[in-house]
């Protein structure tokens, strides 16, 4: 426990790309708090949890040292800082990759061609580990921002930078050569706090966060179907796990209810219709508690 007052601390990015979705996740998990960019400290009013807003670079170390019990930060930052923390859960947002990019139409065309070249990055440790694991020695030029312009300035021959769509690289005449790591926002925890479970509030909080994560990307689907087609429906629809079948007042009909993944939803609905389902209702799911 990081302080003596029995309240958990969770560090999140103060003002950046993963701030909004971190807040949305905590709210979806039922946490009630006010959050402004200016406040370092946001207490939850309905749970013993205080939010700390920080530069994302500081989050892994603060969690490692127990200044904060938990944190939400990009996996790329955890990797770069080499912090000893437990990664509790991937959160499914802030997806990006750390990639080596080279000038388009240049003579750097594979990993081997990077030998002895200058590579600019804000991720020197991650890049260094990657290169040495592949026996490539190159000059790592540490730059804190706007890495993509360094080849044009002749500060570097290539870059190693975070990409999501790759459009920033493209407009700067660069193209990705290879991926160093895939990343997403992760929930991290202080190792001691998690192991000792000195604070069982942490389990309560994790249960709530996980129940919201599980609900994401799923829909609840209800439909009517002739009794005779139930077996066919169950078998036809791979997206449906053990559906609930409820008899209706009309004995020839049943109501079928199930959870369906959003990415296959329309395919499933089309199959259901073909198999005789009607009056299909799709609703969002807020939480799934196993």
Q: Which residues bind ligand ATP (CB under 6 A)?
A: 13, 16-18, 55-57, 74, 76-77, 94, 96, 162, 164, 183
Cα 232 from Cα 171, distance rounded (Å): 52
What would the two tokens of residue 80 be? Answer: 């770069």
- Comparing CB distances to ligand ATP, the nearer of 56 and 69 is 56
- Comparing CB distances to Mg ion, the nearer of 57 and 262 is 57
- Which of Mg ion, ligand ATP, none interacts with 159 (beta carbon under 5 to 8 A by kind)? none
Which among 48-56, 157-165, 231-239, 240-248 is the span making contact with Mg ion, rule CB under 5 A? 48-56
Helix (H) or strand (E) holding 191: helix 191-196
Helix (H) or strand (E) holding 207: helix 201-215
The label of the residue with tokens 């947002």 reads 93
- Which of ligand ATP, Mg ion, none interacts with 241 (beta carbon under 5 to 8 A by kind)? none
Site string for Mg ion, 94-113 (x = CB under 5 A): --------------------
- Position with the least CB separation from ligand ATP: 74
Q: HEC states along 217-242?
A: CEEEEEEEEEHHHHHHHHHHCCCCCC
- Which of ligand ATP, Mg ion, none interacts with 74 (beta carbon under 5 to 8 A by kind)? ligand ATP
**86 three-class SS:** strand
Q: Where are the alpha helices (DSSP H) in 87-229?
A: 124-133, 167-171, 191-196, 201-215
Q: Establish if 57 lies at the interface with Mg ion (CB under 5 A).
A: yes
Which among 50-58, 117-125, 234-242, 268-276 is the span making contact with Mg ion, rule CB under 5 A? 50-58
Cα 73 from Cα 85, distance rounded (Å): 12
Cα 79 from Cα 99, distance rounded (Å): 14
- Comparing CB distances to Mg ion, the nearer of 57 and 184 is 57
What would the two tokens of residue 267 be? Answer: 């395919």
Q: Establish if 56 lies at the interface with Mg ion (CB under 5 A).
A: yes
- Binding residues for Mg ion, rule: CB under 5 A, are 56-57
């Amino acid at each position: 426990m990081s302080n003596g007052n029995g309240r958990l601390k969770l560090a999140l990015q103060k003002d950046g790309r993963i701030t909004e979705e971190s807040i949305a996740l905590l709210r979806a998990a039922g946490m009630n708090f006010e959050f402004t960019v200016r406040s370092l400290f946001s207490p939850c009013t309905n749970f013993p949890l205080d939010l700390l807003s920080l530069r994302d670079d500081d989050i892994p170390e603060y969690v490692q040292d127990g200044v904060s019990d938990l944190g939400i930060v990009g996996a790329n930052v955890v990797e770069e800082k080499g912090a000893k923390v437990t990664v509790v859960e991937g959160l499914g947002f802030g997806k990006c990759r750390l990639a080596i990019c080279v000038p388009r139409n240049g003579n750097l065309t594979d990993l081997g061609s990077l030998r002895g070249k200058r590579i600019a990055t804000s991720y020197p440790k991650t890049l260094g580990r990657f290169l040495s694991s592949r026996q490539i020695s190159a000059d790592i030029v540490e730059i804190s921002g706007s890495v993509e312009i360094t080849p044009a300035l002749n500060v570097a021959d290539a870059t190693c930078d975070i990409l999501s769509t790759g459009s920033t690289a493209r407009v700067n005449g660069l193209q990705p050569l290879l991926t160093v790591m895939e990343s997403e926002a992760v929930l991290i925890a202080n190792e001691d706090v998690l192991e000792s479970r000195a604070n069982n509030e942490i389990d309560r909080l994790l249960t709530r966060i996980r129940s919201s994560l599980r609900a994401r990307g799923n829909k609840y689907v209800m439909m009517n179907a002739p009794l005779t087609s139930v077996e066919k429906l169950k078998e036809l629809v791979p997206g449906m796990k053990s559906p609930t079948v409820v008899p209706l007042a009309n004995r020839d009909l049943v109501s079928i209810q199930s959870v369906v993944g959003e990415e296959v939803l329309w395919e499933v609905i089309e199959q259901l219709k073909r198999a005789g389902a009607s009056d299909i209702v799709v609703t969002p799911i807020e939480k799934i508690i196993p």
